[in-house]
Amino acid sequence: MTNRNKQLVTGNEAAVLGALAGGAEAMFGYPITPATEILQGWINKAQTDKSLHFLQTEDETSAGFAVCGALLNGTKAFTASAGPGHVLMQDPVSMAENIRLPFVGIMMQRGGPSTGTVNFSQQEVNLAAFGGNGDGLRIVYSASTVQEMYDLSIKIFNTAWKYMFPTFLLGDGYLGKMESEINLTKSVNPVHSKKLLREQKIPTHLKNCYSSEEELAEILKQNIYDWNKHKNVIAESDKYRTGDASEIIVAHGLVASAAKEAVDLMRKQNRKIGLFRAITVHPLDTTALSVLAKKVKKIHLIESSQNQFSRIVKYELYGETTEIVEHSKPAEGFSPSEIVDLVQD
């Protein structure tokens, strides 16, 4: 605790530290459990660091649009929300998706739909990846530990500003509240921000409404091209004990951490099982996963939602003949021993 490079923090506190380290300059948000501490933490930091901007807005939609406003002049702005607030965010995120604003959001998933619970789920994958009225040109990371709440909160800013797509970090209510000691020694090379309203002699006129199908189609074609061009570089995953595995668990977020422990338990029983953990849920690291899929006999998809993640995985693995078994527990977590039981035949 006296080591300056280590700190005992909650996941939400780690997110604030990560955002700061990642170059964040402004946060706009609205209180909502279990993300409220991120807004509070940021505002506390802003009391002593006057270069930081903040505003608690009148609702999540305004928060998201205020983020868009700040992004337009090149400010690294972000928001944090959850559940129903995440739903409201789709209005501003859709605008960001159309005009390529590097919108950054940290979404602490809770039970849904509707008010649901304030506690935990993995049910906001669809929202983050495919929400709004577009085709899902967003980048979504999923944190599985408090350390990752810090590391990935740094990364999302660079990813957003490098590739100019809305970028999200999915956490959840357990991660947000649990405490863990984290390493703060990540070195960051912040990507330069750019002004989208360019402030040049020739004015920049940005619109997101088009008169004809063809006009919009041209814009989308370019956006889709860019997304596809970079998706393999952006996609990230982690393989745990998969070298000799005859079956794997595929999971993300905190569920993957429980699965990691389950893998260790099963390995003690000499079961040849490993874990493929998606760090990016969208784009999924299909390259790595399909190599693994060809090697193993069975894939166990485990998530705290009704197949939101599994739908992505199955889409990406289309053509592979490996048996896939889905274990869905929407709005409820999995303990490691529970996973062991589920995975037993």
Partner 1 sequence: MPKSWYAESKPHYFCPGCGHGVTLKQLGYAIDDMNIQEDVVFGIDIGCSLLAWNFLACDTIQTHHGRTTPVMVGYKMTKPSKVALAYMGDGGGYAIGLQSLLHAAFRNNPVTVILVNNENYAMTGGQMAPTTELGVATTTSPNGKTIEFGPGFKGPETVRSIASKDAFIARASVSNPLLLRNILKEAMETQTEKNNFSFIEVLSICPTNWKTSAEDSLKRVKEMEKYYPVGKI
Partner 2 sequence: MSKRNNQTYKLLLSGEGGQGIQTIAKALVATSIEQGLKASYLPSFGVEQRGTPSIAYVIISNENINYPRFDSADIIMALANRAVPRISKFVTPNTDVLFDSSVIRANTFSKIAVHKFGIPATSLSREKFNPKSYNVLMYGILIKMLDLNPDISWKSLKNQLKDKFKTKKIESENKDAFEYGIEAVLERKIFFKPTFETKATINYYKNREKKGIINPARCKGCGLCIEKCPAKALSFGSDLGVFATPVPIVDLNKCIACGMCHQICPDGAIFIEKINNKENK
For binding to partner 2 (CB under 8 A), which residues are involved?
Answer: 209, 211-212
| Both structure tokens of 77 | 């702005």
The minimum distance between CB 74 and partner 1, in angstroms, equals: 8
Cα torsion 297, 304, 285, 237: sign: negative
Angle between helices 213-234 and 146-163 (to 10 degrees): 130
d(CA 60, CA 81) in angstroms, rounded, equals: 8
User: Among partner 2, partner 1, none, what binds residue 26 when CB lies within 5 to 8 Å by partner kind?
Assistant: partner 1
Measured from the CB atom, the residue of 1 and 209 that comes closer to partner 2 is: 209
The minimum distance between CB 220 and partner 1, in angstroms, equals: 17
Measured from the CB atom, the residue of 3 and 212 that comes closer to partner 2 is: 212
Provide the binding-site residues for partner 1, judged by CB under 8 A. Answer: 25-26, 28, 53, 55, 57-59, 61-63, 65-70, 72-73, 75, 77, 91-92, 94-95, 197-199, 201, 203-209
**How many CB atoms are located within 10 Å of the residue 23 CB?**
17
User: Among partner 2, partner 1, none, what binds residue 181 when CB lies within 5 to 8 Å by partner kind?
Assistant: none
Q: Residue 147 in contact with residue 181, Cβ under 8 Å?
A: no
The minimum distance between CB 318 and partner 2, in angstroms, equals: 29
User: Among partner 1, partner 2, none, what binds residue 52 when CB lies within 5 to 8 Å by partner kind?
Assistant: none
| Both structure tokens of 216 | 């919009």
Measured from the CB atom, the residue of 2 and 211 that comes closer to partner 2 is: 211
Specify the length of the chain in residues. Answer: 345
Sequence-distant (6+) residues with CB within 8 A of 284 are: 235, 237, 278, 312, 313, 316
Measured from the CB atom, the residue of 91 and 261 that comes closer to partner 1 is: 91
| Alpha-helical segments (H) within 22-165 | 36-48, 60-72, 83-99, 125-130, 146-163
Measured from the CB atom, the residue of 102 and 116 that comes closer to partner 1 is: 102
User: Among partner 1, partner 2, none, what binds residue 78 when CB lies within 5 to 8 Å by partner kind?
Assistant: none
User: Among partner 1, partner 2, none, what binds residue 212 when CB lies within 5 to 8 Å by partner kind?
Assistant: partner 2
